[in-house]
Amino acid sequence: MAVRTPDPDPDGDFGFDGVPEPDANPGWLTEIELAEARRRLPMLYVEAVPVRTDGSGQVTSLGVLLRSTPLGEITRTVVSGRVRYGETIRDALFRHIENDLGPMAFPLLPPSPDPFTVAEYFPIPGVSAYSDDRQHAVSLAFVVPVTGTCEPRQDALEVTWFTPEEAASDAVWAEMEGGRGTLIRQALAHLGLLR
Amino acid sequence: MAVRTPDPDPDGDFGFDGVPEPDANPGWLTEIELAEARRRLPMLYVEAVPVRTDGSGQVTSLGVLLRSTPLGEITRTVVSGRVRYGETIRDALFRHIENDLGPMAFPLLPPSPDPFTVAEYFPIPGVSAYSDDRQHAVSLAFVVPVTGTCEPRQDALEVTWFTPEEAASDAVWAEMEGGRGTLIRQALAHLGLLR
Amino acid sequence: MAVRTPDPDPDGDFGFDGVPEPDANPGWLTEIELAEARRRLPMLYVEAVPVRTDGSGQVTSLGVLLRSTPLGEITRTVVSGRVRYGETIRDALFRHIENDLGPMAFPLLPPSPDPFTVAEYFPIPGVSAYSDDRQHAVSLAFVVPVTGTCEPRQDALEVTWFTPEEAASDAVWAEMEGGRGTLIRQALAHLGLLR
Amino acid sequence: MAVRTPDPDPDGDFGFDGVPEPDANPGWLTEIELAEARRRLPMLYVEAVPVRTDGSGQVTSLGVLLRSTPLGEITRTVVSGRVRYGETIRDALFRHIENDLGPMAFPLLPPSPDPFTVAEYFPIPGVSAYSDDRQHAVSLAFVVPVTGTCEPRQDALEVTWFTPEEAASDAVWAEMEGGRGTLIRQALAHLGLLR
């Protein structure tokens, strides 16, 4: 599968299907204004790799989102979305996890605000490991244990759980959009689980 | 109060009162052998700052251990203990948290094995921020959310919960043994809570 | 001195005195457009704490910028500026260090792209440790050793070198704008130099 | 090549060929005593991945040591050695870099004392990613830019410089002793260079 990078959360207000989410605030920044800003400014994003842990805190599996693009392609991605004006990183992280994994995921947000890595997405592939054809985005990426049930609210979305070995594989790497296979490997390195 | 640094967990096998703990393995390394090793080799330690978090993962309070030394002094410290031969850092961390906070603390060990800081304790004060008159110890320090009830198993031990502001105060700093007031401030910096 | 927070690098294209810098690209985003964006989107910043090190890499002093505000106040700050559209974080960091410290500072940018902390500046003080009355900015902060001569290019700017003890003092803390006294202490914690 | 793990710096006092180094202090801890300690206590190590950087601080190549074991095998490793009693981690790091890369390597030790990872070596393979058949060692690992000429002082030793892509390859991974291919990949992840 080709690695392509439509934004899985185009504007932070609209879901994968373009329908406004219940908590959207359309008056705050219209789609046109946002599209304009995207061509002029780097956009601040948060991303989360959901994980399951055992009793000792060791990660046993990583969650990857499966979704179909508007063009009907199937790609894999992580929890991802824009930070709004006036919103803290922690709040943005919580909001996007709930959006993508549902209200019963019960995430344990990390006590430290420091991301495990900063991913730079450029519109032109090759500048960095990450690309996004719609914008220049800079993402603060976190590993987030979830203790509940993940029920993606978007129809097109599913969560697949991989062992660390599977998540690091070339097969999964190739299916992740926008270079996020590298983000998964960065997460595994951070967890001491990369081989 | 003078800052002094008796080891709060002298050999990993004996509690504060010198009585072997139930899980001790006296044949493995005698007190005399360990005392000898302490004068020849740096000892590997783990330390934990227990914290309480709110629903969004933000730390609301930090736990500090209060204990009386064999000389009757009252000092403050953190969860601290030696890594045994063949033991993983994660297992050592879990063991010492259970030793110091009891079996109902329900700690959430961090998914990443990386400490928030490495503290170097030298027998002679002034070499670093940390000192321990009995040994050269190098400690990997972690912040560990606890979700249950902390009931220190050692008679002399109590847990006091401080707000981030209180924990950073000069008063608490001065009462911590071996320079661990600095360790608390390092933890607060890691948590984005130092002012 | 009151802690206030005019942006030391208002738009990434203009210096402290409002005169376009030589490398400015006025057609790229006008002042009006940028001012508009600032009220709608979080702005991505980089910040750098310049340091001097000894032969073993240990930090001996930290550089803090002294400047006069348009209102004639004297405040302290760090190297700080916006990330432009299409610019890597590393390039933005290099550009702002050269802008603020001159072309002979010879900075040694860190090999890792991970900041020592992420600082969230909000227009309303109190949301976090950091504030900026003109915008919501999220800053990736780095410690950067400099090996040459720092000659700030802006007339109003000077570099003061502090020992770690001085830099952590309440006096310096109170003079830093926008809560950056906390950023300095975060840097010291990262360096293992906070007491 | 089989991955095996003789210690490249058996006791911190002896080189690869077993001949005491000039700065050895044989009276401090005899080989027998050290061998005894190795079977009873975890040993504290430091390790360094030497790198070359370009003008912007970006890593362009990683140095890997090539050496022949006493059995005549050729293996790859990194700078590695024990922390002595009373020695700071920074001093141990500097000493072992000089031992392995020569006095003209001119390393730029990182200003922060925090390792990019903590590697746990166990005598029995499989407990973690790392193994060392002679001991239980816990290693604090650092990335260290070198600016001079690397001339390994030990006859059997050479430095090979790899691009990030080469260093991450399965071929190099398989030649590294004790699982240090994983350490190289951890270093690449820390540097934002893992793909």
- Cβ contacts of C190 on chain B, cutoff 8 Å: 189
Q: Which two tokens mark C181? A: 């006294």
Q: Using the beta-carbon criterion (under 8 Å), do D114 and C57 form an inter-chain contact?
A: no
Q: pLDDT at position C28, please?
A: 62
* Poorest-pLDDT segment among C25-39, C64-78, C91-105, D172-186: C25-39
Give the gap in angstroms from C-alpha D192 to the nearest C-alpha of chain A.
Answer: 8
Q: Using the beta-carbon criterion (under 8 Å), do C114 and D190 form an inter-chain contact?
A: yes
Chains that touch C (3 or more CB pairs under 8 A): A, B, D
State the pLDDT confidence band at C34, using cuts at 50, 70 and 90. Answer: confident
Q: Which domains does chain B have, with CATH numbers?
A: 31-190 (3.90.79.10)
Q: pLDDT at position B32, please?
A: 84
Do the beta carbons of residue D12 and residue D25 sit within 8 Å? Answer: no
Q: pLDDT at position D155, please?
A: 61
d(CA A82, CA B126): 47
3-state secondary structure of B148: coil
Res A68 pLDDT > 90: no
Q: pLDDT at position A156, please?
A: 61
Q: What is the mean pLDDT of chain D?
A: 86
State the pLDDT confidence band at B30, using cuts at 50, 70 and 90. Answer: confident
- Cβ contacts of C129 on chain B, cutoff 8 Å: 192, 195
Angle between helices A180-190 and D180-190 (to 10 degrees): 120
Q: Which residue has the higher pLDDT, A144 or B7?
A: A144
- Contacts (Cβ under 8 Å, ≥6 apart) of D177: D3, D4, D5, D6, D8, D75, D76, D77
Res D19 pLDDT > 50: no
Q: Which two tokens mark C82? A: 């916006």
Res D65 pLDDT > 70: yes
CB atoms within 10 A of CB D21: 15
- Mean local confidence (pLDDT), A53-60: 96
Res B14 pLDDT > 50: no
pTM (two decimals): 0.88
Predicted ipTM of the assembly: 0.85
- Mean local confidence (pLDDT), D123-138: 95
d(CA A148, CA C18): 53
Q: Using the beta-carbon criterion (under 8 Å), do C56 and D116 form an inter-chain contact?
A: no
**Using one digit for the tens of pLDDT, what is the confidence trace for B161-193?**
999 999 999 999 999 999 999 999 999 999 999
3-state secondary structure of A84: coil
Res A36 pLDDT > 90: no
Q: Using the beta-carbon criterion (under 8 Å), do D37 and B42 form an inter-chain contact?
A: no
Q: pLDDT at position A153, please?
A: 75
Give the gap in angstroms from C-alpha C173 to the nearest C-alpha of chain B.
Answer: 9
User: Which residues of C have a CB under 8 Å from any CB of B?
Assistant: 117-118, 129, 182, 185-186, 189-190, 192, 194-195
State the pLDDT confidence band at C191, using cuts at 50, 70 and 90. Answer: very high
Do the beta carbons of residue A133 and residue A5 sit within 8 Å? Answer: yes
- Cβ contacts of A111 on chain B, cutoff 8 Å: 51, 53, 57-59, 143, 145, 191
Q: Which two tokens mark B3? A: 């800052």
d(CA A44, CA B48): 33
How much of chain C exceeds pLDDT 90, in percent?
71
CA torsion through residues D113, D115, D118, D123, sign: negative
Residue C54 main-chain phi, psi, to 5 deg = -90, -175
Query: Which residues share a beta bridge with B107?
Result: B146
Residue C117 has its nearest CB partner, among A37, A114, A120, at A114
Q: Using the beta-carbon criterion (under 8 Å), do C138 and A89 form an inter-chain contact?
A: yes
Question: C108: nearest CA in chain D?
Answer: D57
Q: pLDDT at position A27, please?
A: 37
Give one DSSP letter per residue of B69-109, joined into a string: -TTS-EEEE-EEEEPPTT--HHHHHHHHHHHHH-TT--B--
Residue C189 has its nearest CB partner, among B118, B186, B195, at B186
d(CA C111, CA D8): 26
The residue type at C19: V
Q: Which residue has the higher pLDDT, B48 or B154?
A: B48
Q: pLDDT at position C7, please?
A: 39
Q: Using the beta-carbon criterion (under 8 Å), do B89 and D138 form an inter-chain contact?
A: yes
Q: Which residue has the higher pLDDT, D157 or C74?
A: C74
Burial level of C140, CB count in 10 A (0-12/13-18/19+)?
buried
* Poorest-pLDDT segment among A92-96, B82-86, D152-156: D152-156
State the pLDDT confidence band at A96, using cuts at 50, 70 and 90. Answer: very high
Size of interface A-D (CB pairs under 8 A): 31
**Using one digit for the tens of pLDDT, what is the confidence trace for D90-109?**
999 999 999 999 999 999 99
User: Which residues of C have a CB under 8 Å from any CB of A?
Assistant: 28-29, 33, 37, 39-44, 83-89, 113-115, 117-118, 120, 122-123, 127-128, 136, 138, 140
Beta strand spans in D30-175 (E): 43-53, 59-68, 74-77, 79-82, 117-122, 130-131, 137-145, 158-162
